[in-house]
């Protein structure tokens, strides 16, 4: 557990177990106060990755030696004195879909297995400029379009709470990284729940920002047309207090992402729970949440009501059309088809690829092949697609009116606890609980609510566009009330 000898270095000796539980905000403060060295902090997290990775397959390529050098440079800067950036010396992990100089950037596509990033994505660069030290890149689903982080390049990642279960996708490696103590925070992206489902299944915090708030530049694949505002980049972290500082670092136009715009970010400290309007929607009318999730959401509603919030339970009938809204909106966006992305510009023949998969000869995963098979369906439905696009507009207006300018919505993250590997295909459309909020461009924070029989519980807290500080304020309140992230016992009984 020894990380620094105070008599030799001047730093306070601190147990690794403490460092693997602390927030990035707290760790950065300790480094600034010279209570902790960046090198000791980086070494503690490297040791954790080396311990869990053989079992869980989280970090698919490390940069440990570079991280050690950067940590030493960070410590030297502390010794020299002067102003330090907000994340100075704090380690993190990065979803492999983002460019991180010198690291793989395949997005789980076998044809890109040898591609290395030659520059940092905008958000990666912003984190590094803020002082963060990336330890490596984490596993994802093929081309970021499924909720199981598995591909033919890196294999499958398993859940720290139960290795038989999914970590979610496509930022599943990031969810598992934060949950298992590999990093205090990570960078993910989300076009249908790819931050929130991994955060839920792994029991950590995750924030999907308002559409257009954070640039997506430098990740692969990159959205085009209207979908640039549906694809969002945001943080996953152990502690709620990191959400807003990380969002402030990530937000703002970069001149590259045409969908990103300047927005005024509010302060969660200005959001009073007393008098807050809370709309609790307990299901989408298609897939009913299991009892433990429903009861967890009701506990949240009761707590907020006791704190003075005005809670209203309601059904929003049009949410039953979430799949139509999401699929139609993506189909109407510009850009290459999924089949073209799978074929690196030349569309794969999905039917033939399915036959190859059945005989064990395909370099693609079954969910990716399935999406290539069905992606043309919305265009073939004609008027139904047009109606779905109209419905998206009306649903956005309905929820804005129901939530109001001083409100949030509680909404299930998924109808089940973390599924067993492969079973999310049965049926494959339950992700619409998260996906619809992308099309509506609403901010949403995934909040952990303890465990049920060893598996994480949670709820989404959403609000109207630009009100990210409202959802984060509620996340902070719920962490105080319910405890937030519960470290997985298997990986935290010994450190």
From the first residue on, what is the mean pLDDT of each consecutive set of 10 residues in the chain (495 residues)?
Answer: 42 78 98 98 98 98 98 98 97 98 98 98 98 99 96 98 98 98 98 98 98 98 94 98 98 97 97 98 98 98 98 98 93 88 94 96 96 75 79 97 98 98 94 98 98 98 98 98 98 76
Catalytic status, residue 194: yes
Which superfamily is assigned to 16-337+376-492 in CATH? Amidase signature (AS) domain (3.90.1300.10)
Provide the whole-model pTM.
0.96
Is residue 163 within 8 A of residue 70, CB to CB? The reply is no
95 is catalytic: yes
Question: Residue 383's pLDDT is what?
Answer: 66
Catalytic residue among 38, 149, 194, 217: 194
**Gap between the Cα atoms of 159 and 420, Å rounded:** 9
User: Which among 436, 417, 342 has a CA at the least distance from the CA of 168?
Assistant: 417
Active-site residue, selected from the candidate residues 141, 170, 327, 463:
170
DSSP β-bridge partners for residue 59:
138
Marked catalytic residue, from 37, 38, 77, 95 = 95
User: Where do the structural domains in the chain lie, given as residue ranges?
Assistant: 16-337+376-492
pLDDT score for 13: 66
Q: Note the pLDDT of residue 375.
A: 83
Neighbours of 206 (CB within 10 A): 35
The pLDDT value given to residue 11: 65
Residues 6+ positions from 7 with CB-CB distance below 8 Å: none
Sign of the Cα torsion 110, 111, 112, 113 reads positive
């Amino acid at each position: 557990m020894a990380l620094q000898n105070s008599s030799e270095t001047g730093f306070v000796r601190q147990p690794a177990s403490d460092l693997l539980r602390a927030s990035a905000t707290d760790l950065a403060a300790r480094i600034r106060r010279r209570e902790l060295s960046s090198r000791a902090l980086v070494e503690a997290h490297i040791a954790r990755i080396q311990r869990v990775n053989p079992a869980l397959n989280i970090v698919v390529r490390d940069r440990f030696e570079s991280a050690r050098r950067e940590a030493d440079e960070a410590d030297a800067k502390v010794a020299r004195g002067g102003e330090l950036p907000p994340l100075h010396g704090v380690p993190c992990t990065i979803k492999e879909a983002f460019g991180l100089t010198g690291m793989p950037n395949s997005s789980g596509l076998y044809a890109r297995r040898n591609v290395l990033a030659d520059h940092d994505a905008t958000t990666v660069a912003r984190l590094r400029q803020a002082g963060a030290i990336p330890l490596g890149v984490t596993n994802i689903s093929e081309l970021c379009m499924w909720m199981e982080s598995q591909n033919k390049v890196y294999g499958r990642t398993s859940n720290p709470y139960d290795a038989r279960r999914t970590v979610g996708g496509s930022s599943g490696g990031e969810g598992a990284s934060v949950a298992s103590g590999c990093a205090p925070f990570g960078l993910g992206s989300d076009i249908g729940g790819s931050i929130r489902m991994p955060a839920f299944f792994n029991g950590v915090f995750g924030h999907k920002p308002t559409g257009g708030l954070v640039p997506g530049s430098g990740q692969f694949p990159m959205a085009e047309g209207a979908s640039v505002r549906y694809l969002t980049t945001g943080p996953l972290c152990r502690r709620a207090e990191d959400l807003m500082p990380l969002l402030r670092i990530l937000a703002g136009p970069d001149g590259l992402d045409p969908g990103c715009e300047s927005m005024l970010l509010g302060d969660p400290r200005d959001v009073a729970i007393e008098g807050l309007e809370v709309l609790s929607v307990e299901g989408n009318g298609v897939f009913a949440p299991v009892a433990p999730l429903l009861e967890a959401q009701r506990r949240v509603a009761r707590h907020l009501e006791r704190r003075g919030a005005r809670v209203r339970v309601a059904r929003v009938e049009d949410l039953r059309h979430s799949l139509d809204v999401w699929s139609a909106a993506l189909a109407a966006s510009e850009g290459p088809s999924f089949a073209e992305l799978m074929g690196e510009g030349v569309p794969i023949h999905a039917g033939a690829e399915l036959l190859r998969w059945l005989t064990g000869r395909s370099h693609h995963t079954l969910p990716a092949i399935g999406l290539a098979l069905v992606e043309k369906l919305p265009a073939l439905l004609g008027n139904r697609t047009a109606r779905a696009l109209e419905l998206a507009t009306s649903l956005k207006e309905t929820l804005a009116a129901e939530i109001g300018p001083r409100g949030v919505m509680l909404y299930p993250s998924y109808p089940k606890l973390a599924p067993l590997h492969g079973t999310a295909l049965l049926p494959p459309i339950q992700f619409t609980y998260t996906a619809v909020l992308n099309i509506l461009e609403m901010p949403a924070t995934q909040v952990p609510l303890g465990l049920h029989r060893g598996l994480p519980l949670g709820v989404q807290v959403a609000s109207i566009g630009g009100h990210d500080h409202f959802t984060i304020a509620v996340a902070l309140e719920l962490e105080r009330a319910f405890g937030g992230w519960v470290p997985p016992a298997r990986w935290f009984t010994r450190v």
